[in-house]
Amino acid sequence: MKRNNHDGPNLRVLAGVLAVAAVALCWSPLSRAFGVTGAAASANPVAGQPDAARHGEELFGRICQQCHNTRGHGGKCPQLVRGAWAPGGANSDQLMFNTITHGRPGTQMGAFGEVLTKEQIWQIITFLREEAVRVKAADAKKPKDDEADLWY
Ligand code: HEC
């Protein structure tokens, strides 16, 4: 007798497609270039707000800079604006939010969810993401001038 297993596999396929779509949207360089960063998975509620970036810059300078160096450019601890953290890079806003909130147990990276509000953490992320755009533009200027415009 033929087993009717129509629903199960189809739902699984649908869930898989949705997951891939969410990841693709979140990671896509285009979504970052057009400022809809992580609309599906992360939704930084203060993204693009000049006040948020300003507060984030101030908080970063006070709390994070001692390890991550000026404007997150890295030093004794990881940089937060290039590579996988660059615009369109593999690391999502949500990953950054989770890392800042929960820290990295067993390393010097503390759990700042205990001392910062969610909004303050998103402000820091807003600052770092905008700094990453500036860094990308500055880096692009070095070999070839007109590419910098693509990121503004
Ligand atoms: C006492 C030093 C210290 C301070 C202060 C600190 N961090 Fe870190 N941070 C680290 C270290 C060390 C790591 C790398 C942990 C590891 O080995 O995975 C890290 C990792 C990270 C990462 C993940 C980097 C990656 O590429 O995996 C993020 C994001 C981050 N920190 C953000 C922040 C922010 C934002 C602040 C301020 C609110 C902050 N950190 C404050 C030491 C620090």
The candidate with the shortest Cα–Cα distance to 96, out of 104, 53, 70, is: 104
Place of tokens 């909004």: 119
34-58: average pLDDT: 77
The residue whose CB lies within 8 Å of the most ligand 1 atoms, and thus the one to mutate among 58, 62, 67, is 67
Å from CA of 17 to ligand 1 middle: 33
**Count of CB atoms within 10 A of residue 130's CB?**
19
pLDDT band at 10 (very low <50, low <70, confident <90, very high): low
pLDDT in tens, 85-142: 999 999 999 999 999 999 999 999 999 999 999 999 999 999 999 999 999 999 998 7
Residue 81's pLDDT is 98
Domain boundaries, the chain: 7-151
The average confidence (pLDDT) of the chain is 80
Tell whether the model's pLDDT for residue 12 goes beyond 80.
no
Top mutation candidate among 57, 65, 68 for ligand 1, by most atoms within 8 Å of CB = 68
CATH of domain 7-151: 1.10.760.10
Please tell me what DSSP assigns to residue 61. Answer: I
User: Whose Cα sits closest to atom 5 in ligand 1?
Assistant: 64
Residue 110 belongs to what H/E stretch?
none
Residue 90 is inside which H or E element, if any? none
> What's the confidence (pLDDT) of residue 141?
87
User: SS3 of 66, please?
Assistant: helix
What the block records as the tokens of 23 is: 């990841």
Which residue has the CA at smallest separation from atom 29 of ligand 1? 96
50-62 tens-digit pLDDT: 999 999 999 999 9
Asked whether 117 and 51 are in contact (CB, 8 A), the reply is no
71 sits in the region (left: phi over 0; alpha: psi -120 to 50; else beta) called left
Write out the DSSP string of 17-74: HHHHHHHHHHH-HHHHHTT-TTTTTT--TTTT-HHHHHHHHHHIIIIIHHHH-GGG--
* 137 within 8 A of 148, measured Cβ to Cβ: yes
Q: Are 130 and 46 in contact (CB under 8 A)?
A: no
Q: What is the pTM of this model?
A: 0.74
Amino acid at 33: A
Q: What is the pLDDT of residue 31?
A: 44
Asked if pLDDT for residue 32 goes beyond 50, the answer is no
